[in-house]
Amino acid sequence: MTQTDTRVGPAAAGPAPGPARPFWTSRRRDQLTGYLFIAPQLLGSAVFVILPLVLVVWYSLHEWNVLAGTFDFVGTDNYAALADDPNLGAVLRATGLFSVGLVVLNLGLALLLAVLLNQRLRGTILFRTLFFSPVVVSLVAWTIVWGFLLQDNGGINGLLDTIGVDGPNWLRGEGTAMLSVIVVQVFKNVGLNMVLFLAALQGVPADLYEAAEVDGASRMRQFWRITVPLISPTILLTSIITVVGSLQVFAQIAVLTQGGPGTSTTVLVYYLYQQAFQFHHFGYGATLSILLFVIVLALTVLQWQMRKRWVFHES
Amino acid sequence: MKPRKGLAVVAAALAGVLALSACGGGEAKDKGPASLRMTVWSANEAHLKLFNEIADEYRKSHPDVAEIKFDPLPFENYTTTLTTQIAGGNAPDLAWVFENSAPDFVASGALLPLDDTLKKAEGYQYEDISPATVKLWQNDGKLYGYPFSTSPFGVFVNTDMVKKAGQKTPAELIAAGQWTWDNALAVAGATAAKSGKAGLVIRDFDYKGWDNLSTFWTGWGAQAWSEDGKTCGFNSPEMVDAMTTLHKATFVSKALPGPGTTADFFAGDAAMTVTQISRASLLKDDGFAWDLVPLPAGPKGPYAVVGQAGIVVMKKSPHAQQAADFLAFLTNPTNSAKLAQFFPPPRQSQLTAETLAKTNPKLKPEQLQKVVIDGITNGVVKPSHAGQAELSQQVRAGLDPLWQPNADVKAVLDGVCAKIQPLLAK
């Protein structure tokens, strides 16, 4: 280490220089290296995350007509419109329904699959791969294929027909459309949560089960008293990821239902897209995205607070 | 103090990159020969080939234009994609605009007025353009879009399929004076039942693109909204009658394929389809035998519906004037006649069966007279209104409950009006 005095007094900053020293001291070189290392990431976040976030707040205070090229400051008018929006209730209801349905089905199924595939049986690797494979499939391609399967004369109803069941027109009924969108999304991503649960399950010490068995605990009791508490940090993690992800659903809605029938599947992100890109209300669209931001933030904080109540074994 | 300087250097570099990324593109193109871009909905090879031939000819006499690029955007999201490009600072110089977004574009102030350029163009014969066709594209007496294609709706018929089902062909029904919606739907229903394929498809409707249903309800004298655009017409007695007939044809006689069923006439999946004649280019030479007939008569008698598309020039384009000049060339009498094979022109002198027949090898003179010329002369333009996208979305959502077998037609249509009346009254 070279001894460089960084606490230079005001006198030294004046025109009278001391003995000439090289500009590139090792300390400066270290700093430059550090900044260069973080520069790509910093630049990426600045351009694609921080700047758009700030701009969205700015846009939400404006009325922006892209066709006419006008951009007028309107203060909090867009927020007042948000409070008066007759569609917002239905949109939030659809969003809530989707999120609850997705979280319950996804986590339930993922945990069930993980427990089943955690057994030492032949073929589990094959099934693990099968259940995980939709995660790596392109979302839009996955959804388009499901769109064909869910048509009135599509594959699902064809299958039901062979067992004598007259299937509904899945994407056209108010209840079945939402159910279809949820199930398509669950099948797409359940593999990811399943793998996380599997990893957690394998971290549970086997001797705890042995001890419980000696004490005469049933398999169900072992599951609720040992497995669930020990994997609760993973349950928290997956539920946060799934809730946040569920609030951002867009492609499935755009491909399968376009928000219909009626407005039954118009979730917040799709509504935001309609307002901004179809109706050209970019300012109002920005306001809706701030509402989404607040909801996601509130839910995440809430879940984080609740962890104290039900997450055991937090390291 | 000194470490701060390092930070300042990095910050300055960051700011520089940010500024570059924000303002990239644009400006530099101002000098030198212009490069024009026009967005179109059609990716059809024959359409693009003709466009490119005309563009190449124009560039020969105009060295100031280096390139004219036709940029096809997908039909389904055409207007959304176009406005997103405009919002993103990547506006085209010329754009194809559909009738349903015409009021928004024309009133926006984003378009270049075209009257002067077109009137001054050599040999243009501006007065030849039919006044009825420019109505939608004018604002305060100025023309903001050239009515490039005024395309009537007709019925394409797969005569092979209809005959095989033992039904009278539409041509026979026309000869007998019986070409009405009742008979058309009966033929469609019977053919569908016999062939196991679809009967009649209202193309691009698909239980979402409801404005295409105007090809149907106009026969009952129904309208989406009043002429002045202020009153909802969905719950009028005429509309209720029309929609009741449509509902029965869909769910009882199955003359129309139900919601969520795809059937492409041009792939041989359906007996008949209601669409614009510009889709004739989708017919294959070695395919099934076909016919093109006018829309069947409704209870109010014979009628015609036209779809319109205009070409507009973006005022903010750095080459707006050159773009307008090219538009004048593209639509001059000579080129207009060439384009007439796909896009019926608004020029009165060219709306004759003989002229159109020269460039429409697939259509017979009587088809051209009955469907195209009579259609353009008497046709009602598909519904359009300021704020169409929002209005259209509300109507679509409001009509959704109608596409259930046990729907209460009147109640659903009342619901549509309850939704859109506040928007119309704005």
Q: Which of the residue ranges A194-198, B15-19, B111-115, B395-399 would you say has the lowest mean pLDDT?
A: B15-19
Q: What is the pLDDT of residue A12?
A: 44
Mean pLDDT of the region A297-304 = 88
- Between the two ends of chain A, the Cα-to-Cα distance in Å is 38
Considering only residues A183 and A313, tell me which one the structure prediction assigns the higher pLDDT: A183
B55-84 pLDDT, tens digit each: 999 999 999 999 999 999 998 889 989 988
B positions 255-274 inside 8 Å of A (CB)? 258-262
Written as one string, the DSSP assignment of A198-233 is: HHHHHTS-HHHHHHHHHTT--HHHHIIIIIHHHHHH
Q: What is the pLDDT confidence band of residue A8, given thresholds at 50, 70 and 90? A: very low
Alpha-carbon distance values, A115 to A102, A198, A208, A224 (Å): 20, 7, 16, 12
Q: What is the pLDDT of residue B276?
A: 87
> What residue numbers bound the domain in which B93 lies?
29-151+307-381
B281-318 pLDDT, tens digit each: 788 878 899 998 999 999 999 999 988 999 999 998 99
Q: Is B131 found in the same domain as B209? A: no
Which residues, at least 6 apart from B208, have a Cβ–Cβ distance to it below 8 Å? A258, A260, B396
For the cut 60, the answer to whether the pLDDT of residue A146 exceeds it is yes
Is residue B241 one of the residues assigned to a domain?
Answer: yes
Among A249, A292, A86, CA closest to B394: A86
Among B409, B20, B15, B59, CA closest to B237: B409
A37 sits in the region (left: phi over 0; alpha: psi -120 to 50; else beta) called alpha
Instruction: Tell me whether residues B260 and A171 touch, CB distance under 8 A.
Output: yes
Packing angle, helices B45-61 and B320-330, rounded to 10:
110
Q: Is B116 found in the same domain as B211? A: no
Instruction: Measure B260 CA to nearest chain A CA, in Å.
Output: 5
Q: What is the pLDDT confidence band of residue A19, given thresholds at 50, 70 and 90? A: low
Q: Is B171 found in the same domain as B147? A: no
Mean pLDDT of the region B391-408 = 92
Cβ–Cβ contacts within 10 Å for residue B189, how many?
A: 21
CB-nearest partner of B259 from A6, A172, A278: A172
Mean pLDDT of the region B263-277 = 92
Instruction: Tell me whether residues A67 and B14 touch, CB distance under 8 A.
Output: no
Q: What is the pLDDT of residue B287?
A: 87
For residue B52, give the CATH number of its domain: 3.40.190.10
Mean pLDDT of the region B276-282 = 80
Chain A residues lying within 8 Å of B104, measured CB to CB: 67, 280
Structure tokens at A246: 């569920």
Instruction: Tell me whether residues B261 and A151 touch, CB distance under 8 A.
Output: yes
Mean pLDDT of the region A125-133 = 89
Mean pLDDT of the region A16-24 = 70
Structure tokens at A107: 């986590």
Mean pLDDT of the region B85-101 = 90
Is residue B170 one of the residues assigned to a domain?
Answer: yes
Structure tokens at A176: 């079945």
Q: Is B393 found in the same domain as B273? A: yes
Is residue B158 one of the residues assigned to a domain?
Answer: no
Is residue B17 one of the residues assigned to a domain?
Answer: no
Count structural domains, chain B. 2
For the cut 50, the answer to whether the pLDDT of residue B15 exceeds it is no
Considering only residues B75 and B115, tell me which one the structure prediction assigns the higher pLDDT: B115
B positions 145-164 inside 8 Å of A (CB)? none
Written as one string, the DSSP assignment of B274-313 is: EEEGGGGGGS-TTS--EEEEPPPBBTTB---EEEEEEEEE
Among B14, B8, B34, B26, CA closest to B323: B34
Q: Which residue has the tokens 């002045």?
A: B228
Instruction: Measure A174 CA to nearest chain B CA, in Å.
Output: 9
Q: Which three-class secondary structure state does DSSP give residue A9?
A: coil
CB-nearest partner of A278 from B105, B316, B393: B393
Chain B residues lying within 8 Å of A65, measured CB to CB: 108
Q: What is the pLDDT of residue A10?
A: 46
Alpha-carbon distance values, B333 to A20, A26, B330, B360 (Å): 81, 77, 9, 17
Q: What is the pLDDT confidence band of residue B89, given thresholds at 50, 70 and 90? A: confident
Instruction: Tell me whether residues A278 and B260 touch, CB distance under 8 A.
Output: no
Q: Is B388 found in the same domain as B374? A: no
Q: What is the pLDDT of residue B115?
A: 92
For the cut 90, the answer to whether the pLDDT of residue B354 exceeds it is no
For the cut 70, the answer to whether the pLDDT of residue A40 exceeds it is yes
Q: What is the pLDDT of residue A308?
A: 75
Instruction: Tell me whether residues B108 and A68 touch, CB distance under 8 A.
Output: yes
Is residue B4 one of the residues assigned to a domain?
Answer: no
Nearest-angstrom CA–CA distance, A263 and B349 = 48
A224-261 pLDDT, tens digit each: 999 998 898 899 889 988 998 999 899 999 999 988 88
How many angstroms from the chain centroid is the CA of residue B325? 24
Instruction: Measure A198 CA to nearest chain B CA, in Å.
Output: 39
Chain A residues lying within 8 Å of B2, measured CB to CB: 6, 8, 28
Instruction: Measure B131 CA to nearest chain A CA, in Å.
Output: 26
Q: Is B416 found in the same domain as B290? A: yes
Q: Is B258 found in the same domain as B177? A: yes
Which residue of chain A is at minimal alpha-carbon distance from B104? Answer: A67
Is residue B1 one of the residues assigned to a domain?
Answer: no
For the cut 70, the answer to whether the pLDDT of residue B6 exceeds it is no
Is residue B101 one of the residues assigned to a domain?
Answer: yes
B21 touches chain A (CB under 8 A): yes
For the cut 60, the answer to whether the pLDDT of residue A76 exceeds it is yes
Q: What is the pLDDT confidence band of residue B133, given thresholds at 50, 70 and 90? A: confident
Mean per-residue pLDDT over chain B, rounded: 87
Which residues, at least 6 apart from A196, have a Cβ–Cβ distance to it below 8 Å? A110, A234, A237, A238
